[in-house]
Structure 1
Amino acid sequence: MGLYHSTRSAAPCVTAKQAIRRGIAADGGLFVSDALGETTIGLDDLASKSYFELAREILGALLPDYTADEIAACVDEAYNGTFASDEVTPLVPLATAPNADGVATYVLELFGGPTSAFKDVALQMLPRLMARTNSGENADEKIMIVTATSGDTGKAALAGFADAPGTGITVFYPEGKVSRVQELQMSTQEGGNVAVCGVRGNFDDAQSAVKRIFADEELAARLADEGVVLSSANSINVGRLVPQVVYYFAAYAQLLRAGSIAAGDAVEFCVPTGNFGDILAGYYAKRLGLPVSRLIVASDKNNVLFDFLTTGTYDRKRPFFTTTSPSMDILISSNLERMLYYATDGDCELVAELMAGLSAEGVYTVPEQVLARIQEVFGCGWADEDQVAAAIKHCWDANGYVIDPHTACGYHVLEELPAAPGTAARVLLSTASPYKFPRAVAGALGLFCPPDDFACMKVLEKATNTTAPAQLATLEDKPVLHTDVVDIDSMSAYVEQAASNL
């Protein structure tokens, strides 16, 4: 696969290592490669490949300037002994499909990593990829990772980058708008190179501020004088996106091994998403040759993606809702920009125009032919809070399987939508452990729910005969190390102060 460039400009081009190191392009665009799809992953021997083998092959195809030895080392460091299952992302069949169209449904469990969220899959990998960009003229340069989180990215990034040589990490989260478990995961994080800070505002406010920080040339110059460069651990970084492609192929391989499908059969994937990164990885998988019948975007009450996919108009000027699925409480879906680039056949000028409209007016509308191309690949649906709770209850009653509120959005959408024609199996991506949101899950199941999250975990364990991940159950005993809270306009100064401590 070739060089990378911005979604908003075809020049200059950079290597994969440079794109990962920089995180975001200088013009604010996201790094993409026009070679996506030139290399495909064969299906004939897919069933015989382990997750490790798939990761080496797929990352090697998408990040061509990394050597095979570098990729192999990254894969081993990221996944050897860090996930609960040897499959890394195990596939679990549901006894009863959410709807009655006769197509079997499976859950792809992405939450077996150290922070019990799907973002571990990428954020155990990104620091390893980042470490191997440090050579030549930037050998002595330090990297400050700056990330805004709606709940899960922050802890997963902290777990990946804590005490990583040559790096620091600053994580911002919307104060009061993540679950208590999520907040404690971040505020108890140990590490000499980490900074965690609440912000007064929502995730979109924080994410927009982080993008402005990356675009601040004066700040970049001051940091450069100190030998520091900024980069991102959000899915705007291609090094975050690429590792997520692997588990789509891994799901297909597991279906083949189980005899549930034959090579070449089409599979439909339903993905709870707010920032469009997790489902965009599925689009990349499709471009790499995976037989995907449809990718279904599942949204919560903040259904800006649903409206865009049905009308072609993206409008962030709407009420923001705080829901039981906080990692999806997003109105500006950054990774959609990459999809727009590919759907317009690489029309950087149009993408830049659309993004300028979103920034200035809060809205844009894509041409009809662009929307039609997107709708050929993507379906969509959304769930309100009552429907999320009902989906959790239905999944438990029908399957004896406990899901979290984000996964429940996807489950509800699968209840509503029949499978696309020619679909041999449906896969629901489960993005977080239900124990990250114990009160919402216990309440949906009709259980008595104590006000304390950790007491509620115990109730949920007893009622469902499941076990809370140890890294979540023990959080209440850990000391809180990070208590900073700032206004949005103080985030840049906070980053600069954190960088001075590297």
Structure 2
Amino acid sequence: MKYNSTRNRSVSVSAAQAIAQGISADGGLFVPESLPQYSYEDLCKLKEMTYQGRAQRILSDFLTDFTQPEIEESVREAYSPNKFGGEHPAPLALQQNGDKNMYVLELWHGPTCAFKDMALQILPHLLTKSMSKVSGGKKAVILVATSGDTGKAALEGFRDVAGTEIMVFYPQDGVSPMQERQMNTQEGGNVHVCAIQGNFDDAQTGVKKIFTDPACGQKLAEHNMMFSSANSINWGRLLPQIVYYFSAYCDLMGTGEMDYEGEKVNIVVPTGNFGNILAAYYAMKMGLPVNKLICASNENNVLTDFIRTGVYNKNRPFHTTSSPSMDILVSSNLERLLYDMTGGNDALVASWMKSLNDAGVYTVNAEVKAKMDELFYGGYCDEQGTKAAIKEMFETENYLIDPHTAVAVNVYQQYLQETGDLETPAIIASTASPYKFAASVLEALTGERGQGSEFDKVAELSALTGTQIPQPIADLQQKPLRFAQVCNIAGMEMAVLGTLGIQ
């Protein structure tokens, strides 16, 4: 299988090249030339497998230049029980929701307590194997822009991985205290962290600019280095996320919930950069029976407006919310969706991306809008709605959720009220442990944000709810702070080169 650039489909590279490079030189994102197709018989076979077996099968269909032992080793090392607290890294929790069951897909059992672990525990294995195939011995310099969870998950995944250096940029006032502490206490000799004076979109734009700057790339090449990415712009980050949607559906087949061929589910995803819900879209295109992809946004509701109107307009106020991983106005992975929905019209996609860059806005054509209307439902949830969903889920189901999952639950309830679709089971992507946002969850439950340090609030939340503090959060209190660097947006490239010792 080969991979094309969304902005120039004549670019055709191997999976290893796409993963090692991260982003195309033209600024486009790599996408597979075609998608493997899974029949009902294939789903029945996947149903009988472990999560690890399902991952091996799906990854093998995309990574055709990898050997089977390479894929098996990557999956085995990434999803070992000691990293995810059990044999199943992405279990379903059954919750009642009115007249119809909804199923919470818990994606936060990994070492950083966020869904990014599902991809970032395997990406280092895929990247190092890719580098050995295509880089000629170069060191990979991994740049990451994070709105909170990706940064820590990437740092943990690449900690002391040979042949790599990783640098994470995060908005100085745009992540939760726990997310910030997770990053700034990160262990490892090859890890680096820097806050920026700006928001996530500034960090993401700055990283993309560094990636596509030929002069900066040349400086790295002179020192036998090359850039790569651990953000979801990297296909190696996005691909593993497809697996857990198939796995969740197969688990429902195993319980009898999905009891006939072609029975559909709704998939609800709290969405910022559009990568997580794009993985669900690809799963649907591969044959997973999906009725609606429900895109849940917080007050930064640029995606809701886009899905409903066909106009993407980032020229709006930026809101800092209790669900910071969704505080995003430029959703990078949307470019991949547009490429697919236009039948691979790279010139049209490039023109829309240019308009977004130049004017902050673009409008899709009627054909794309009609396809989105058929497949997607877009909704958003304000801060009051987020708090209400946390409180309601705990009081009615004795189930504790974080603010991002709460946004998804709220928007799913809006969908039910608007459509009356009580017949279709729903899978809710639960993307983070509530203990990463203890103050916000406490406020939702009690009206108060708790007293003392962040760890005092964690303890208070545990005592109040009778739930267990995840071990990675508990261990964090004793770790010393290692990083305190701050730069402005213009200084990001200098920060990277300085960290690498390149003048």
| TM-score (norm: length of structure 1) | 0.96
2:274/2:333 contact within 8 Å kept: yes
| Alpha-carbon displacement from aligned partner over 1:369-399 (angstroms, at most 9, x marks no partner) | 1111122111111100000000101111110
C-alpha deviation, 1:138, in angstroms: 2.6
Deviations 1:427-451 (A, max 9, x none): 1000000000000001100165114
- Specify the code of the residue in structure 2 equivalent to 1:66: F
Instruction: Give the CA deviation at 1:463.
Output: 1.4
User: What's the offset of the Cα at 1:423?
Assistant: 5.1
Q: Does 1:313 align with 2:311?
A: yes
> Structure 1 residue 458: deviation in Å?
1.1
Contact preservation (8 Å) 2:232, 2:238: yes
Amino acid at match of 2:166: I
Q: What letter corresponds to residue 354 of structure 1 in structure 2? A: W
1:301-341 per-residue CA deviation (whole Å, 9 max, x = no partner) reads 00000000000000000000000000000000000000000
Aligned position for 2:14: 15
CA-to-aligned-CA distance 1:231-277 (integer Å, 9 cap, x gap): 00000000000000000011111111111221431011100010000
Contact 2:38 2:288 in 1 (8 A): no
State the partner residue of 2:297.
299
Could you tell me how far apart the structure 2 residues matched to 1:476 and 1:138 are? 39
Partner of 2:469 in structure 1? 468
Moved more, 175-184 or 469-478: 469-478
Letter in 2 for 1:130: L
CA distance in structure 1 between the partners assigned to 2:175 and 2:4 by the alignment? 34
Helix, strand or coil for the counterpart of 1:135?
helix
Aligned to 1:58: 58
Partner of 1:452: 453
Q: Which amino acid aligns with 1:355?
A: M
CA deviation profile, 1:14-51 (whole Å, cap 9, x unmatched)? 00000000000000010012212456681222321110
Q: Does 1:356 align with 2:357?
A: no
Matched, 1:153 2:150: yes
Q: Secondary structure at the match of 1:437?
A: helix
* Equivalent in the alignment of 2:411: 413
- 2:398 aligned partner: 400
**Which residue of 2 is the match for residue 195 of structure 1?**
192
Return the letter of the residue paired with 1:220.
Answer: G
* Paired residue secondary structure (1:235): coil
Q: Which among 92, 107, 120 is matched to residue 110 of structure 1?
A: 107
Number of aligned residue pairs:
496
- Partners of 2:381 and 2:36 lie apart in 1 by 33
Does the 8 A contact of 1:293 with 1:423 survive in 2?
Answer: no
SS of the aligned residue for 1:231 comes to strand
Residue 173 (structure 1) aligns with: 170
How far did residue 134 of structure 1 move?
Answer: 2.6
Q: Which residue of 2 aligns with 1:371?
A: 369
TM-score by length of 2: 0.96
Change beyond 3 A, Cα 1:19–1:136: closer
Pair 1:132 & 2:133 matched? no
What letter is aligned with 1:36?
A: L
Q: Give the AA of the match of 1:482.
A: F
Determine helix, strand or coil for the equivalent of 2:400. Answer: coil
Contact map agreement 1:266 1:423 (CA 8 A) in 2: no
Q: Kindly indicate whether the alpha-carbon contact (under 8 Å) linking 1:270 and 1:429 is maintained by their aligned counterparts in 2.
A: yes
Structure 2: give runs of 5+ residues left out of the alignment. none
Report the secondary structure of 1:24's partner residue: coil
| Change in 2 beyond 3 A, CA 1:380/1:56 | same
Q: Distance in 2 between matches of 1:495 and 1:38?
A: 41
C-alpha contact (below 8 Å) 1:228/1:499 kept by paired residues = no
* Paired letter, 1:49: M
Report how far residue 280 of structure 1 moved. Answer: 0.3
Contact 2:16–2:134 (8 Å) recurs in 1: no
Question: Displacement, 1:181?
Answer: 0.3
CA contact (8 A) 1:83 1:113 kept: yes
Moved more, 200-209 or 58-67: 58-67
Moved over 3 A (4+): 37-41, 419-424
Aligned position for 1:324: 322
1:447 and 1:420 mapped to 2: Cα distance?
Answer: 32
1:489 matched residue in structure 2: 490
- What is the letter of the counterpart of residue 112 of structure 1? H
State the Cα distance separating 1:421 from its structure 2 match: 5.5
Alignment of 1:229 onto 2:230: no
Q: Which has the higher relative contact order, 1 or 2, with Cα contacts under 8 A spaced 6 or more apart?
A: 1
Q: Which amino acid is 1:466 matched to?
A: T
Q: Secondary structure of 1:230's partner?
A: strand
SS of the residue 2:35 aligns to: coil
Task: State the Cα RMSD in Å.
Answer: 1.4
1:285 aligns with 2:279: no
Asked whether the equivalents of residues 158 and 169 of structure 1 are also in contact (C-alpha less than 8 Å), the reply is yes
Deviations 1:131-156 (A, max 9, x none): 11133563421000000000000000
Q: Give the drift of 1:416.
A: 1.0
**Aligned equivalents of 1:64, 1:140: Cα separation in 2:** 22
Cα pair 1:312 1:366 within 8 Å, conserved = yes
Q: Does 1:241 align with 2:238?
A: yes
Structure 2 residue identity aligned to 1:63 = L
Moved more, 31-40 or 140-149: 31-40
CA 1:365–1:137: 2 relative to 1, 3 Å: closer
1:219 corresponds in structure 2 to: 216
Whole-angstrom CA distance in 2 between matches of 1:420 and 1:23? 42
Q: Distance in 2 between matches of 1:423 and 1:75?
A: 35
CA separation of 1:154/1:136 partners in 2, compared to 1, >3 Å: closer, same or farther?
A: closer
SS in 1 for 2:216: helix
Letter of the 2:329 partner, please give it: L
Report % sequence identity: 47
- C-alpha distance 136-292 of structure 1, shift in aligned 2 (>3 A): closer
State the one-letter code of the partner of 1:353: S
For the 8 Å contact 1:261–1:424, the answer to whether it is kept is no
**Contact kept in structure 2, 1:266 and 1:422, CA below 8 Å:** no
Query: Offset at 1:420?
Result: 7.8
> Which residue in the other structure is 2:26 paired with?
27
For 2:136 and 2:323, the matched residues in 1 are separated by: 41
* Cα displacement (A) at 1:452: 2.1
CA distance in 2, matches of 1:51, 1:137: 29
Equivalent AA in structure 1 for residue 443 of structure 2? G
d(CA) in 2 for partners of 1:152 and 1:127? 17
Find the counterpart in structure 2 of residue 79 from structure 1. Answer: 79
